[in-house]
Amino acid sequence: MHDLNYIHRDIKPDNIMMGLGENSNTVFLIDFGLTRLVIDPKTGKHIPFVGRKNLIGTCRYVSVNSHKGFELSRRDDLTTLGYVIINLIKGSLPWQGIKISKHSARYSKVGNFKEKYPIEKLCRGCPI
């Protein structure tokens, strides 16, 4: 997707499928409802940075940039994929236990938690 100048913006286990038969070694992404072109085909330039956006993606997996309301980029897809892989290895992510009924307050609290949580601690127990 990134080679084609698109970002997915909602990478999560529900949107990752393994192929069957001859494609059993191939990983497929599905659900392109939040996908966005990041290079303007007319100008060849990267989309401009924008702030003050609503959270895009699934709160559990999105990057801190999404929590901060920033325009997302390929880097954020990779951060999100990292969180997905850690979740699959460890069975959960440390911020999954944050329970606040109002979505906007929960998004903010989870984002602050992610930003302050040490990467060494997050990855502890994962293969090098």
pLDDT tens digits, residue range 19-42?
999 999 999 999 999 999 999 999
Residue with tokens 């001859």: 22
Q: pLDDT tens-digit profile of 76-111?
A: 999 999 999 999 999 999 999 999 999 889 999 999
Catalytic one among 10, 31, 40, 76? 10
Please state, in angstroms and rounded to a whole number, the distance separating the CA atoms of residues 7 and 29: 11
- Which among 76, 104, 101 is positioned nearest to 6, based on CA atoms? 76
Contacts of 92 (CB under 8 A, 6+ apart): none
Question: Which domains are delineated in the chain?
Answer: 2-123 (1.10.510.10)
pTM: 0.93
Report the relative pairing of strands 16-18 and 27-29 from DSSP bridges.
antiparallel
* Catalytic residue status for 10: yes
Torsion, Cα of 31, 86, 27, 64 (10° steps): 40
Q: What stretch of H or E contains 46?
A: none
DSSP assigned state of 85: H
pLDDT score, position 125 = 95
